[in-house]
Structures are given as structure tokens and as C-alpha cells.
């Protein structure tokens, strides 16, 4: 029984199987190619160190004697084959050329960049790292301004680190130093006496005063422990983020620094579980840039891009806004409405017949920008599209969520509460190019 509100295009066989590769390939699609080497200069274990493609720079950075980490399980390499729609090498190469051309202009045309990037950024050549920084308005359109802008931001970040990441003993010692130098009291040392710290009562560790730096410190400790726990379990299946290697530890430290600084600069929201998942793709992409300058400054660059990205979605993290029109509940309802608009039969079955409240699955989908639903390579691909939306990621995200439901509609229509909830809580791996295609299709229909 087909609901009469379902438009024809929805019942097209296209929804159930990937569409023809693209309009440009008349010939049958070539067999799925091995996905091109990703931007991180990772190598199979047997290959020796220098292959001349920017790897030397990276090698040079590594402390002597350290073993270059072999990212055997690099997600970009483990991307499933058979994605003729999005992994078409002809498409990829031509898009890479187009993006490179756009990036070579003195002043970048953002509209064009957004259009190209929304189709997916090829994984090679470090293009994604630069494009994402542009999409998040961290890099200005005018390339002549890049170096001054980067220098300014990076020094600002260094100041944040200096000011916000030191412990209270350092703060009180500095307070004391500045007082003693003001008094011109620099003769003590000469007398051979050990100086005794004059700690103001308010700044004593055992002081109960609310303004004490120690009081603040103890409050922060709870948040820092939470951040610590969550950073350790961010993509625990990836060597880049997890494990005992020096590089994984350094990457974890960078994520921690960013989250702590964000929490301290934003006392209204602080740290909310899940922010780590939003941060991870940004840091991964920037840290794997072929340009060494970007690698060294990945932490600072990531911080500002994280702030920018979060500014568009932070209401989802804010408990106080849960019941407001901008809060997570209302965002989930909008997704549900979108589904109802496009596929009322499925909507009815999910929400009325099997009583699967969209909160049960879409809360995580939306809050985490789908970062726990797909493998890492697929997440990056989805994010190319999310970040390309000039209005911010949310509207595109809702269409992608809706498309995820539509792509498994047959299974959902046959499922009961338990089967459907299990399916949606561990969404099957899918052809991302196709998913994004369907999501985009919802855009053109949503106002008809």
C-alpha cells in the first residue's frame, strides 16, 4: 500500500540501489579503484621512509630514533570499495583539479568553493585541510592576508594556553613575583635567605573564598577529568587517537588542551560530552596536512575552527535550551517533520506504528554531526558537505539524517520497535555519495 503523498521520485528504484555513476560517465563504471592515498603520508610497513612526496618534512619533525607510526588501519584506506558513485576516479581527479584551481586564485570564490566541496573533497593532496579552513572562515578569502591572519591567531592561541592551562601554584607564584618586583625587593636573594611566599589569604589552597584561584582550580578539575576520560575514548579504534604511542599521546594532549581552553573561555557551556567527537575530524585533517607549517600549528588552527563550527551547533549542547525553539528537541522535531513531508508512510510507521521516538536515535546523530554513525573516511566525506553549507551545517545535517531513514525504508517498514531501533542505533555502512545525493534531493523538494 503506497501512501499517495509519496511522490514518484521517492519510489524510484534509485533509492534502493546506487544510481548510475554520473552523467559524465557514459561507459560502464570502472571496477572500484583502490581509494587514492589519503593526505596523511602514511606508508605500508615495508616501504622505506623517503618517497619524496612531502614525507621528508614530516620525518624531520619526528624525534630521532622514533619509529614512524604506520597507520595500518588508516580509515581513509579502509574505506569500503564499490562506491562507484563517489569514488569514481574520473570525477575525483576532475574535482581535485577544479578545487586546486580555485585554491590557486588570489581571491577565492567562496560560492564556487562551497559548490565543489559539497560534492566531496578528494582525499589526496591535502586539499581538504585548506578547504575546511576556508569553509569555516578561518582562512580569509584573500590569500594575501593568510600569513598575517594565521600569525595573529596562532599567537592568540599561545596566549590562551599560557593563561588558561597553568596550575594555581604557577598563578600565585607569578602574582608574588609581580608584587615583589613592584616593591623593588630584589635584594633578598643576595642575603642568602630563603624567601617565604607571602600568599594572600584568599589565594591559599584551603581558602573557602569563591574567588580563590584554587577554588576555581578544583571546579575545573572535575571538567578536566571528564575531558580526559572522553579524549581517551575518542575513536579508540584508530592509532592516530588511541594507544600508547608517542604520537597518539601527543594528539590526545592537543585535543585535551583545546577542550579545556574552550571550556574555560565559555563558562556558560563549558565542556559537554560529545564535543570531543566534533573536534576529532578537524584535528585529524589539519594534523595530516602535507604542509609542515600547518602540521606544527594544527592545534591552534583546530581550536579556532572548532569554535567556529561549534558556534553554529552549540545550542544542541546546552541543557538550558533543550525546550526552546533552538534546542536539540526542536531540532529533532524538524528532522521528523522533514521525514513526514517527504515520506509520510515511513514517518507514520516509525513514529505511530512502531513508536520509535526520533529522540532515541537522532539525538546522537544530530548532536555529534554523525561522527559515531560511520567509519572515519565516510565521516570526512559527509563533513565536506556539511561544512559547505553557507547557512551552517544544521540544515544539511537534517536532510542527511532524513536521507539515512529513507535509504533503509524497506527494512524499517518491515521492522518492529526493537528491530527498527537497533537498526537506527547502529546504522549499516552505506554508499556515502549516494546518501548525500539523496539528501540533496530533499533540498529541491522541500519547498515544492
Partner 1 sequence: MAAYRADDDYDYLFKLVLIGDSGVGKSNLLSRFAKNEFNLESKSTIGVEFATRSIRVDDKIVKAQIWDTAGQERYRAITSAYYRGAVGALLVYDTSRHVTFENVERWLKELRDHTDQNIVIMLVGNKADLRHLRAVPTEEAKAYAEKENTYFMETSALEALNVETAFTEVLTQIYHVVSRKALDAGNDPSALPKGQTINVGSKDDVSAVKKTTCCSA
HSE, side-chain direction, 13 A CA sphere, residue 57: 13
In the complex, what is the shortest distance from the CB of residue 230 to partner 1, in angstroms, rounded to a whole number?
Answer: 5
- Rounded (5°) CA angle 33-53-113: 65
At 63, phi and psi to the nearest 5? -60, 145
In the complex, what is the shortest distance from the CB of residue 422 to partner 1, in angstroms, rounded to a whole number?
Answer: 7
Q: Which three cell numbers mark 166?
A: 597553568
User: Of 185 and 322, which CB lies nearer to partner 1 in the complex structure?
Assistant: 322
Q: For residues 339, 21, 136 and 229, what is the CA-based torsion angle, rounded to 10 degrees?
A: 70
3-state secondary structure of 270: coil
User: Of 83 and 420, which CB lies nearer to partner 1 in the complex structure?
Assistant: 420
User: Of 3 and 372, which CB lies nearer to partner 1 in the complex structure?
Assistant: 372
In the complex, what is the shortest distance from the CB of residue 225 to partner 1, in angstroms, rounded to a whole number?
Answer: 9
Q: Which residues bind partner 1 (CB under 8 A)?
A: 226, 229-230, 232-236, 242, 272-274, 276-277, 317, 319, 322, 328, 355, 359-361, 363-364, 367-368, 372, 416, 418, 421-422, 425
HSE, side-chain direction, 13 A CA sphere, residue 375: 15
In the complex, what is the shortest distance from the CB of residue 325 to partner 1, in angstroms, rounded to a whole number?
Answer: 17
In the complex, what is the shortest distance from the CB of residue 328 to partner 1, in angstroms, rounded to a whole number?
Answer: 7
Please report, for residues 238, 285, 288, 299, 394, the alpha-carbon distance to residue 123 in angstroms, rounded to integers and kept in the order given: 17, 10, 11, 21, 24
In the complex, what is the shortest distance from the CB of residue 380 to partner 1, in angstroms, rounded to a whole number?
Answer: 18
3-state secondary structure of 98: helix
Under the phi-then-psi rule, with left for phi > 0, alpha for psi from -120 to 50, and beta for the rest, what region is 197? Answer: beta
User: Of 126 and 274, which CB lies nearer to partner 1 in the complex structure?
Assistant: 274
User: Of 415 and 433, which CB lies nearer to partner 1 in the complex structure?
Assistant: 415
- 328: which residues sit within 8 A by CB, 6+ positions away? 315, 316, 321, 322, 363, 366, 367
User: Of 328 and 406, which CB lies nearer to partner 1 in the complex structure?
Assistant: 328
In the complex, what is the shortest distance from the CB of residue 91 to partner 1, in angstroms, rounded to a whole number?
Answer: 33
User: Of 14 and 423, which CB lies nearer to partner 1 in the complex structure?
Assistant: 423
Chain length of the chain: 448
User: Of 235 and 409, which CB lies nearer to partner 1 in the complex structure?
Assistant: 235
- Rounded (5°) CA angle 90-34-97: 30
In the complex, what is the shortest distance from the CB of residue 319 to partner 1, in angstroms, rounded to a whole number?
Answer: 5
What is the distance between the alpha carbons of residues 425 and 316, in angstroms, rounded to a whole number? 19
What is the distance between the alpha carbons of residues 99 and 111, in angstroms, rounded to a whole number? 12
Amino acid at each position: 500500500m503506497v501512501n499517495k503523498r509519496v511522490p514518484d521520485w521517492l519510489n524510484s528504484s534509485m533509492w534502493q540501489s546506487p544510481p548510475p555513476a554520473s552523467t559524465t560517465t557514459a561507459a560502464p563504471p570502472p571496477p572500484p579503484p583502490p581509494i587514492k592515498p589519503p593526505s596523511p603520508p602514511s606508508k605500508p610497513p615495508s616501504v622505506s621512509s623517503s618517497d619524496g612526496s612531502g614525507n621528508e618534512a614530516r620525518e624531520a619533525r619526528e624525534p630521532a630514533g622514533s619509529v614512524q607510526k604506520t597507520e595500518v588501519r588508516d580509515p581513509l584506506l579502509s574505506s569500503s570499495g564499490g562506491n562507484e558513485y563517489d569514488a569514481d576516479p574520473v570525477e575525483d581527479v576532475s574535482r581535485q583539479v577544479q578545487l586546486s584551481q580555485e585554491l590557486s586564485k588570489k581571491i577565492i570564490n567562496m560560492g564556487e568553493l562551497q559548490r565543489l566541496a559539497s560534492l566531496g573533497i578528494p582525499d589526496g593532496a591535502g586539499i581538504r585541510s585548506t578547504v575546511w579552513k576556508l569553509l569555516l572562515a578561518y582562512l580569509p578569502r584573500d590569500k594575501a592576508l593568510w600569513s598575517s591572519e594565521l600569525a595573529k591567531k596562532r599567537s592568540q592561541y599561545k596566549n590562551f594556553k599560557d593563561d588558561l592551562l597553568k596550575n594555581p601554584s604557577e598563578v600565585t607564584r607569578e602574582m608574588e613575583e609581580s608584587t615583589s618586583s613592584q616593591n623593588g625587593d630584589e635584594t633578598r636573594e643576595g642575603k642568602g635567605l630563603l624567601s617565604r611566599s607571602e600568599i594572600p589569604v584568599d589565594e591559599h589552597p584551603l581558602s573557602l573564598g569563591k574567588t580563590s584561584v584554587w577554588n576555581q582550580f578544583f571546579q575545573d578539575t572535575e571538567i578536566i577529568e571528564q575531558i580526559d576520560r572522553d579524549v581517551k575514548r575518542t575513536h579508540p579504534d584508530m592509532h592516530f587517537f588511541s594507544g600508547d604511542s608517542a604520537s597518539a599521546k601527543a594528539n590526545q594532549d592537543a585535543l585535551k588542551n583545546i577542550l579545556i581552553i574552550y571550556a574555560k573561555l565559555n563558562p556558560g557551556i563549558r565542556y559537554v560530552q560529545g564535543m570531543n567527537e566534533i573536534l576529532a575530524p578537524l584535528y585529524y585533517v589539519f594534523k595530516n596536512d602535507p604542509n609542515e607549517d600547518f602540521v606544527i600549528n594544527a592545534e591552534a588552527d583546530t581550536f579556532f575552527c572548532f569554535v567556529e563550527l561549534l558556534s553554529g551547533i552549540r545550542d544542541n549542547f546546552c541543557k538550558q535550551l533543550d525546550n526552546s525553539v533552538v534546542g536539540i528537541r526542536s531540532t529533532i522535531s524538524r528532522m521528523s517533520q522533514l521525514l513526514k513531508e517527504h515520506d509520510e508512510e515511513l514517518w507514520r510507521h516509525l513514529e505511530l506504528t512502531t513508536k520509535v521516538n526520533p529522540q532515541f536515535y537522532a539525538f546522537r546523530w544530530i548532536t555529534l554531526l554523525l561522527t559515531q554513525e560511520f567509519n572515519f573516511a565516510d565521516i570526512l566525506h559527509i563533513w565536506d558537505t556539511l561544512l559547505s553549507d553557507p547557512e551552517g551545517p544544521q540544515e544539511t545535517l537534517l536532510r542527511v539524517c532524513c536521507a539515512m531513514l529513507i535509504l533503509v525504508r524497506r527494512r524499517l517498514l518491515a521492522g518492529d520497535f526493537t528491530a527498527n531501533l537497533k537498526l537506527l542505533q547502529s546504522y549499516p555502512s552505506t554508499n556515502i555519495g549516494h546518501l548525500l545525493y539523496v539528501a540533496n534531493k530533499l533540498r529541491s523538494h522541500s519547498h515544492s
